[in-house]
Structure 1
Amino acid sequence: MFDRPEGGESAVLVSLDFGEADYAESLEELRQLALTAGLDVRATVEGKRPKPDATYFVGSGKAEEVAAALQATESRVVVFNHDLTPSQQRNLERKLESRVVDRTGLILDIFAQRAQSFEGKLQVELAQLEHLSTRLVRGWTHLERQKGGIGMRGGPGETQIELDRRMIRERVKSLKERLAKLKRQRGIQRRARRRSNVMSVSLVGYTNAGKSTLFNRLTQSGVYAADQLFATLDTTSRKVFIPDGGPVVLSDTVGFIKHLPHALVDAFGATLEEAVQADLLLHVIDVSSTSRDAQIEQVDRVLAEIGADEVPQLLVLNKIDLAGMEPGLERDEYGRIRKVWVSAHSGAGMELVRQALAERQRGLMDAIQQVNAVA
């Protein structure tokens, strides 16, 4: 989506406060998303409104302020901290004579940059096409000219916009069929793991909570990890032996975020299915973040949306080195470890994670043996 000359393409951020309690955190998150996308943020335009303006979302006066910021900073892109309707995006692009990207579009661009696996790229393309299909309302003249007749694409009188929509529908159908096939293949692999009594564990958590760093610590692998949003998109699975426990399959999944676009939740359903089908979720939490409670709530909300809210969780409170805390654990009323305090970066407290995994695995194996004995 973005051209990226050296230093990143220049951009102006726009964010309105509608009275949300987490407004400041949301704006900071937008800045991090823009940087992750490779943009050079040169200005931020803020404002307060009781509700969005139907035409420009920000109102005509604030739109003029955005135009002035674009000119003053010589920026080429406007990024909104909100989702825009297709007509609002079209009106803004006409008025500002610049590209306008909403929050969903920005996240989709980051996902397109980061997806590495074949399945991940298919999922990103599906999400992009489903988002684009609602935006084919541009005022460009080529979308209004009719196509048709002998030797022309499309049927008689079919407009370019209708042709575009039909092509998108056909591609979306093809992508969904290919993803469904990959889902069936994963199901076969999952059943094979169940037959071999191998516990399946998925790492979930807010983006940049340290999931990939923890995954690397536990598996001694080299999954890409960085202090940025959405450093990891593709699900990576590794088999690891836990002392006093046994073999465990660990899966590192995509990080969650506030207002995660529903198109992404749907498109990444196959990837997130690893969390749905897991025997245990390691919910990784950045204990040093001032927004950790809101982040925990957001992760739990998305887990409920995908049907993974019934999967047992082990809370891993990570980054204790940044919070000035010591390693530790907390047990629930049944005596099981439910929380551990660790630093995946330094390795402090990692033995507690392994201890908790070993306990959960022994409990799972005991349950399986009981079921087999009854059968």
Structure 2
Amino acid sequence: MDVRGLDKRFLEKQEQQLTERIRQLQPDALDRFEEITGNRSIHSSHAMLGSNNNVYVDSVRTAFLDPNDFISRWIKGLTERVQIYAEQGRLNQKRYRRVSREYFLMFALKDDLLTEYLLLFLTRNFYRNFKERVRNKPEENLWSIWFGSGNLVWGLLISPEMRSDEWVNDKSEMRRASFNYWTVRHVMESGLIDPESDEPVKFSSPKQFSQFYQSILKRVSNSQYEKGIADRYLAYLRESSAPYEEPFLIPELRFAGKEKKHKYRLDYTVLNPYTMSRTGFEISPASTHMKVDRIIGVGKSEMNDALRADWAKEMKKRNEYFSNFGINTITFTDEDLSDLDHCFSIIRKYLAERRCDLPRAEVSLQNARAVFAEIAL
């Protein structure tokens, strides 16, 4: 279940139901907690259950698909830590005059009642921190992206704000953004930035966004192949059951931002917020990418040197996009471009990719119990 679109009322109802069940189990859970720790404090028990959410999982950087995903990764992280502590002889019943957190949690996951209580507690934590749990968190160098060729440059920021005649992100508002980054919804809600304007360009519907893509972004290109890809992307959006949530196919992603004298551009780029994959596409017919301007009076060695320099420049471009932004590059050559539908089918794969086959909490729990059963105390 992808829970990203759940509304506030549903989240509140989930939290209320979970809290009610937790309260029903609480007396018996506290009995078990006291048996293991010698302490009968509800605050101490909840501290042991919930204070290591950024130790067992990376809650700051990870976007979780649903509560099951969060719990599965949490249990896996706990299991790995218990194994390390056991190997180091640090998994002691009494440490610093109290039962260690990992020791208690290991026993809790062997006990059906405490396991149910823990899973309810973690599920409630997920819904209480819903926005923070499900949001993908890009690196800071992708908080602002700039695209376009020549003077026709556009920016896509997360929370754009004009300060001192400069477009920047309002960091206090970034965490409140409800959209998935780099999607059509992101473009529509944040708007596209014209560096020479003090107002973002906004779109009221996917149709209006598509018209802008068709009339402005597509027409800037002189390449018939790039225009063909743009047409196929717009058809892809029309066919989508959720066009707002589709990744924005970025034309001419600029390496050096909005600076007029740019270093490189990628013909098309997909920054997928659901998988965090980043893929650039270069449309590279030999007529434009391996062209030798003059033949007369140029020897074979000199021609080879020129081709070698062009090849080195292309490879440096790909390496720098990967090094700086984590963007891998796929190149379409003349042979590929003879079938533009096939080229777009490759781009489509990266647009449509979603997280799947995630480990489930039941599997992580089974693995944890198997590991814990082998640990001699």
TM-score, normalising length: structure 1: 0.24
Greater fraction helix: 2
Greater fraction strand: 1
Greater radius of gyration (CA): 2
Of structures 1 and 2, the one scoring higher in RCO (CA 8 A, sep 6+) is 2
